Structure 1
Amino acid sequence: MKHARIGHQSIPRWAYLLFIVLAVFVLYRIFQHRAEVAKASQPPVRPVLVAKVITKDVPLYLDEIGTCSAYETVQVQAQVSGQIIARHFQDGADVKQGDLLFTIDPRQYQAALDQAQGQLGQVKAQLGLDRITLKRQQELRARNVTSPQDLDVAQGTVNSDEAKVKSAEAAVAAAQVNLDFCNIRSPINGRAGLRLVDVGNIVSGGNAGGGGAVLLTIQGLDPIYTDFTVAETDLALVRRYLGGPNVKVQTDLSDGSIPPRLGDLYFIDNAVQPGAGTVKARAITPNPDRALWPSEFVRVRFILDVLKDAQLVPSQAVQISQSGPFVFVVKPDNTVDLRPVKPGQHQEGDMTVIENGLKPGETIVITGQLALSPGAKVDPKPYDAGNPKSDRQVAAKGAM
């Protein structure tokens, strides 16, 4: 009995406790190591910039290169011959219709007018005298004092005098016109070019049927024409919308120094140019500040229609793979899904129309796509289109 008690007490209780503690510690370390390995094997959370898919009415358009041309071009010519005695404008100045440009020596035309007016006075005086004679002859004939022949002669004389008065009045009017032609005025509103004749020169007039001397060229600049061409391959699209209420033409300078001008389509040709494969078109563009000049190259946006409620995303959100364009869509659990899309035209503000593949209000990745794959965890931050420096920083962190 004593021997058995001694054998039973050979392993103390504290040894059992120590064993249990050591076993728990070992198991804890094993599970901790496995958790660290699992955590290390998981990809890191990638910082990205995100934005919502928005809907907006945007234009359907064709971008072309065009030139401007004057709305009106007039060559100012002398209509009477004579010496230029005055110039009343500055080269390159804006002129209005009716503004005085040149003055031709009017003395000979004033003398011709005075002479015509004198001749008119003479024939009018003769007409008055002959009418008195006609009246006397009518009274005498009524009393059978004179023969019918005398009355007919008096009547014929009055008729002749009346015709002479009309002829003299016409001569006065012609002389007045020639005198008025001595003051050469602007026929349109526009901008004067470089004068071709100086004061003191004698110019020939064109009132005899020939062309007079060209003194100046004036071009109307407001509105102004925008000339451009449409490729033959785009004709089917253009014909579909031609004549519609939304057809407009937007004109802009290549350096963007002026706001775009929205005008109306004025003309489109009825034939394709041989060899070029294009069709001529022309628009009327407002130009109140004269910022657009004739023969200047401009950017033309031929707006055909308005796409209602189009889906728009920032252009940099659209990526290209071997399977085609795609975007990363952020799901509610902050993981991403690769979504194939069909991009449309670029729009103002560096936006792109998405014709198929997205829904309005979905969240998409704008920057930081380089290190992403389907199912990756992301840390989404709002995209700020006005802060490209921050965008580059996020993209750099996401690539690390």
Structure 2
Amino acid sequence: MTSYKDVLDKCAGLKAVASLSLLLSLASCGEDKTAVAPPPSKSYPVTSAVVMDVPHGQEYVASIQNSNFIELRARVSGRLEKVSADEGQRVTTGQLLFTISSHEYQEEVKRANARLKGAQAEAKMAEIDLQNNQLLLDKKIISLSEWEMSKAKLDSAMARVDEALTTVADAERRLSYAEVRAPFDGIINRIRSKTGSLIAEGDLLTSISNDGDVYAYFNVSEREYLELAKRRDLGEQGSVMLELANGEIHPHQGRIETWESVISKSTGNIAFRASFPNPEHLLKHGSTGKVILRSELKNALVIPQKCTFEVQHKTCVFALTPENSIELRSIGTKLRLQNHYVIDSGLKPSDRIIFEGIQVVKEGEVIAPDFKALAEVAPF
């Protein structure tokens, strides 16, 4: 049978074991706390804006026209007897293109010549009468008034001769209109009427255009015009380029020749005209393209587009504070290039911005920046 003393001894032993266990547990907890260290900051590539001179081209939609393009219209009426050129054919100055029936115009010329001969005969008789009356006046056989009447008759007859000459010239000119000739070297376009068609005066026969140098017409805003007017190189060959409808660049550069003197009230734009060589005859009248005005932004602040993202329609970047903490910053962009932005507000050249990892970093996060020069990560 266990005595009371044995029970006390057993309880004392249990308390000692429990106390030792508690001390060991506390010691263990203390050791765990000193062993836990804060996680290291993640490393992300960062870069900074660079100040540089940026070449760029401002694009304007342009309509292309040949330097010579006209419509050929009939100047007399009649039946189209002959078409001497085909569509798309290259013709030379003075080459016969169309022949309109000319019988009635030939008759007009004959009648006009007949009236001219009659007027000349009357003038000759009036001249003879004046000479005779002059002899009679010298002998005082007739009065001065009779001589003056014969002089007036001669003047009237000579006036009728001049009128007849004008009629002959007009008839011959209308006869010449029956033959339609090329006014300059060029290409014949679509022929509207075929042989045998009845042509009225003023009807469109075809159009002709030369395929040499071309004009490109484009519009610029008033603000852009004021900037362009300051430039002195626009009139120099090579100051503008032409992008064709297929996206290719025309191999020959051009220049600005002139611009209008009035700004449109309805659009606020002013029209410019550029000229481009066309030795390969590739550019056609009525084509479209884009005129590219080459210029250079001095001391522009440039960052990679890869650094940017949009927040509520604003362009933003993740910038670093001096303590390497991330902060969201809105920037203003002045010009978008192929892989870069030219910015005008929100950053300084000394600011560091996140280049990679903008999808995973968070504002306020502290990182270990791995600085990369712009020329290394996003060469211009």
TM-score by length of 1: 0.60
User: Which among 261, 265, 273 is matched to residue 270 of structure 1?
Assistant: 265
Within 1, Cα distance between the matches of 2:293 and 2:134? 80
Partner of 2:299: 309
**1:318 aligned partner, one-letter code:** T
Within 1, Cα distance between the matches of 2:216 and 2:95? 21
Aligned residue runs from structure 1 range 41-52, under 5 A: 41-43=39-41, 45-46=43-44, 48=45
Within 2, Cα distance between the matches of 1:262 and 1:350? 28
Aligned residues: 323
Within 2, Cα distance between the matches of 1:68 and 1:178? 37
Aligned residue runs from structure 1 range 103-114, under 5 A: 103-114=99-110
Q: Give 3-state SS (helix, strand or coil) of 1:199's partner.
A: coil
Q: Give 3-state SS (helix, strand or coil) of 1:194's partner.
A: coil
Cα distance 1:215–1:163, how it changes in 2: closer, same or farther (>3 A)?
Answer: same
Within 1, Cα distance between the matches of 2:162 and 2:285? 50
Partner of 1:18: none
Q: Please tell me whether the aligned partners of residues 82 and 99 of structure 2 are also in contact (alpha carbons under 8 angstroms).
A: yes
Q: Please tell me whether the aligned partners of residues 49 and 383 of structure 1 are also in contact (alpha carbons under 8 angstroms).
A: no
Aligned residue runs from structure 1 range 144-163, under 5 A: 144-163=140-159
User: Which among 355, 358, 370 is matched to residue 378 of structure 1?
Assistant: 370
User: Which among 48, 54, 57 is matched to residue 51 of structure 2?
Assistant: 54
Aligned residue runs from structure 1 range 112-151, under 5 A: 112-151=108-147
Query: Which sections of structure 1, spanning at least 5 residues, go unmatched?
Result: 1-33, 207-211, 231-237, 272-277, 387-400
Partner of 2:75: 79
Cα distance 1:280–1:124, how it changes in 2: closer, same or farther (>3 A)?
Answer: same
Q: Give 3-state SS (helix, strand or coil) of 2:174's partner.
A: helix
Cα distance 1:188–1:368, how it changes in 2: closer, same or farther (>3 A)?
Answer: farther
Within 1, Cα distance between the matches of 2:332 and 2:93? 52
User: Which among 343, 347, 360 is matched to residue 336 of structure 2?
Assistant: 347
Within 2, Cα distance between the matches of 1:117 and 1:68? 51
CA deviations over 1:90-131 (Å, ceiling 9, x no partner): 324577886653222344434433442343244334424432
CA deviations over 1:312-342 (Å, ceiling 9, x no partner): 22322324468961255799xxx79767352
Within 2, Cα distance between the matches of 1:367 and 1:100? 71
Q: Which deviates more from structure 2 when the two are superposed, residues 245-254 or residues 115-124?
A: 245-254
Cα distance 1:374–1:285, how it changes in 2: closer, same or farther (>3 A)?
Answer: farther
User: Which among 306, 321, 346 is matched to residue 357 of structure 1?
Assistant: 346
Q: 1:53: Cα distance to partner?
A: 1.3
**1:270 aligned partner, one-letter code:** K
Query: Which sections of structure 2, spanning at least 5 residues, go unmatched?
Result: 1-34, 235-239
**1:155 aligned partner, one-letter code:** K
Within 2, Cα distance between the matches of 1:97 and 1:54? 57
Q: Give 3-state SS (helix, strand or coil) of 1:377's partner.
A: strand
Q: 1:261: Cα distance to partner?
A: 7.8
Q: Please tell me whether the aligned partners of residues 46 and 370 of structure 2 are also in contact (alpha carbons under 8 angstroms).
A: no
TM-score by length of 2: 0.63
Cα distance 1:327–1:43, how it changes in 2: closer, same or farther (>3 A)?
Answer: closer
Within 1, Cα distance between the matches of 2:301 and 2:293? 21
Q: Please tell me whether the aligned partners of residues 84 and 202 of structure 1 are also in contact (alpha carbons under 8 angstroms).
A: yes
Cα distance 1:114–1:355, how it changes in 2: closer, same or farther (>3 A)?
Answer: same
Within 2, Cα distance between the matches of 1:163 and 1:49? 97
**1:343 aligned partner, one-letter code:** G
Sequence identity (%): 20
Aligned residue runs from structure 1 range 302-341, under 5 A: 308-320=298-310, 325-326=316-317, 328=319, 340-341=329-330
Q: Please tell me whether the aligned partners of residues 310 and 353 of structure 1 are also in contact (alpha carbons under 8 angstroms).
A: yes
Q: Please tell me whether the aligned partners of residues 49 and 367 of structure 1 are also in contact (alpha carbons under 8 angstroms).
A: yes
Within 2, Cα distance between the matches of 1:356 and 1:148? 101
Within 1, Cα distance between the matches of 2:96 and 2:337? 47
Q: 1:282: Cα distance to partner?
A: 4.9
Within 2, Cα distance between the matches of 1:89 and 1:199? 12
Within 2, Cα distance between the matches of 1:166 and 1:328? 92
Within 1, Cα distance between the matches of 2:90 and 2:303? 46
**2:194 aligned partner, one-letter code:** D
**1:326 aligned partner, one-letter code:** V
Q: Which deviates more from structure 2 when the two are superposed, residues 103-112 or residues 346-355?
A: 103-112
Within 1, Cα distance between the matches of 2:350 and 2:129? 103
Partner of 2:31: none
Partner of 1:164: 160
Q: Please tell me whether the aligned partners of residues 251 and 262 of structure 1 are also in contact (alpha carbons under 8 angstroms).
A: no
Within 2, Cα distance between the matches of 1:186 and 1:329? 73
Cα distance 1:140–1:345, how it changes in 2: closer, same or farther (>3 A)?
Answer: same
Q: Give 3-state SS (helix, strand or coil) of 2:316's partner.
A: strand
